[in-house]
Amino acid sequence: MNKSRVEALSDGVIAIAITIMVLELRTPNSASLDAVLNLAPQFLSYLLSFIYVGIYWLNHHHLLNMAEQVDRSVLLANLNLLFWLSLIPFVTSWIAGHHRDTLPVALYGVVLLMCSVSFLWLKLTLRDAEKDHPLAAMAIGSSRKNKYSIFLYALAIALSYWAPLGASFFYVILALLWFIPDRHFSQSY
């Protein structure tokens, strides 16, 4: 089985998820400054989710680039990842108007957590599929950063019970962490 269609479906779902999130930026009826300022929460939550989806695309691109071949269990793990990524537009539009409420903030974290768990599952499945290609398996790299993320998302979800705004802020920090080139983590992407 070749991996080009796995990439094509994933690119499709990711491209649509990105573009559909913008539909939440509803056109204001007036042309006043207030109308623009009222869109700030929508815009910021779109920006945050765009960064998360963009990071997943980068890592997915890197991961499949390393792979030599895909089998049925890789396809299933990939579909599972796409399922959780497809829920990001929904939680994004909910958190937009409710970034100080426990439930939407917690649910946003749950979807991010599940995306991270699904990515880890995809990574492990791929490494398993490459057991005859030790170099490819090594290139896929360790999962340390991935595992730390899962732990930190769980922490943020817990935090949203006491301080939803703090948890929202936590998601921003976690997104920015991926941009800092880290020598220690470089090989684990």
* Close Cβ partners of 121 (under 8 Å, ≥ 6 residues apart): 77, 80, 81
Q: Are 156 and 102 in contact (CB under 8 A)?
A: no
Binder among 41, 68, 69, 102 for a copy of itself (CB under 8 A): 102
Closest distance to a copy of itself from the beta carbon of 79 (Å): 4
Pinpoint the alpha helices (H) of 30-71.
33-37, 40-66
The window from 59-67, 112-120, 134-142, 149-157 that contacts a copy of itself (CB under 8 A) reads 59-67
Q: Are 42 and 89 in contact (CB under 8 A)?
A: no
Q: What angle do CA 47, 90, 52 make, to 5 degrees?
A: 35
Q: Is 57 in the site for a copy of itself (CB under 8 A)?
A: yes
**Contact set with a copy of itself (CB under 8 A):** 1-2, 5, 7-9, 11-20, 22-25, 27-28, 31-33, 35-36, 47, 50, 54, 57-58, 61-62, 65, 72, 75-76, 79, 82-83, 86-87, 89-90, 93-94, 97-98, 101-104, 107
